[in-house]
């Protein structure tokens, strides 16, 4: 790709994920952050880290859907709350349909006209119109799918998934689920039936899950403990080997025999899977998946999808550490 550059706009930059995206895009060798839209922060200077960031001179703007489309960016990332993306997509479709759009909300995760962008499990070539309209998976949905995919053909009953996330997953708008005072020394259950990510996983894996999410007092990082019912007996060693083989070509998913910890994944761009506990009959397994909900669960995954849309190696611009 040499020195080729593409302009990227970000809409909805007030939240935690927006801040992570700004930081990643500021240091990307081929993407230039051309505008940042946030109604609440309009007029403020965009403060970034790194050598390129100090030279950007960007300020937050409050841009309408039509104004975003008029910028004719090569790509636009929508980091808006659920239910707000459609107007921006319609405006971009009307005036610059070749602009790549990555939507981080749930608005298009059930739309067959959009590519569902979980890169490690991507189906199809990624060419054509579908690759220009990309729906970023949910954070919990990413962890659950990564935990189930390697043994999907062996699952014979709905999988039970117990999830715990840091309160950054509840966004920045005040609520009980991101109130540190209410969460102190607490574990808060919510949306225990028919959670959005439960339906999302069922649609994209073709396998039913029963998901029970909780919020904990830590800020970032989530864990999913998945209870799996298998067609045939196996061993923990065989399961671990199967997962290692399945993700061997995917450096942002790392497999360990031990159970992964949230404290080890916070601030990291990869997911970790491990545990592999087996019942006595070898037909019930428990697997644990962890990831940073703001990174691999959102911003990092969006950057993976942008890289793929522009024909770049999937890890371009993503800081990675060697596996421990």
Contact 77, 102 (CB under 8 A): yes
Q: How far, CA to CA in Å, does 163 sit from each of 134, 225, 287? A: 25, 6, 12
What span, in angstroms and rounded, lies between the C-alpha atoms of 136 and 304? 10
Output Rg (C-alpha) for the chain, integer angstroms. Answer: 20
Contact 235, 296 (CB under 8 A): no
139 catalytic, yes or no?
yes
Given the residues 96, 139, 161, 240, select the one marked as catalytic.
139
Closest CA to 313 of 117, 29, 121, 79: 29
Helix ranges (H only) for the chain are: 16-26, 65-70, 86-95, 139-148, 180-183, 196-205, 236-246, 262-265, 300-309
Catalytic residues: 139
């Amino acid at each position: 790709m040499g020195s080729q550059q593409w302009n990227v706009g970000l809409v909805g930059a007030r939240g935690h994920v927006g801040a992570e995206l700004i930081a990643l895009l500021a240091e990307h060798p081929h993407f230039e952050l051309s505008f940042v839209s946030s109604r609440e922060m309009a007029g403020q200077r965009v403060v970034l880290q790194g050598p390129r960031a100090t030279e950007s001179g960007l300020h937050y703007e409050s841009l309408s859907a039509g104004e975003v489309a008029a910028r004719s960016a090569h790509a636009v990332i929508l980091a808006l709350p659920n239910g707000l993306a459609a107007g921006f997509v319609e405006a971009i479709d009307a005036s610059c349909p070749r602009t790549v759009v990555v939507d981080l909300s749930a608005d298009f995760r059930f739309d067959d006209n959009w590519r569902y962008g979980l890169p490690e499990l991507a189906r199809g070539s990624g060419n054509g119109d579908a690759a220009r309209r990309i729906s970023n998976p949910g954070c919990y949905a990413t962890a659950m799918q990564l935990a189930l995919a390697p043994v999907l053909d062996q699952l014979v009953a709905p999988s039970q998934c117990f999830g715990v996330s840091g309160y950054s997953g509840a966004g920045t708008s005040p609520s009980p689920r991101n109130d540190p005072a209410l969460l102190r020394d607490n574990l808060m259950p919510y949306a225990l039936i028919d959670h959005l990510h439960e339906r999302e996983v069922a649609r994209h894996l073709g396998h039913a899950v029963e998901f029970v999410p909780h919020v904990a007092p830590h800020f970032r990082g989530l864990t999913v403990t998945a209870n799996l019912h298998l067609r045939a007996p196996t061993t923990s060693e065989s399961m671990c080997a199967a997962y290692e083989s399945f993700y061997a070509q995917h450096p942002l998913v790392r497999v360990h025999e031990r159970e992964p910890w949230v404290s080890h994944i916070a601030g990291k761009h990869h997911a970790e899977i491990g545990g592999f506990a087996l019942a006595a009959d070898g037909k019930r397994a428990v697997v644990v998946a962890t990831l940073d909900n703001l990174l691999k669960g959102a911003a990092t995954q969006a950057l993976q999808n942008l890289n793929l849309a522009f024909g770049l190696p999937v890890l371009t611009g993503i800081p990675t550490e060697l596996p421990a």
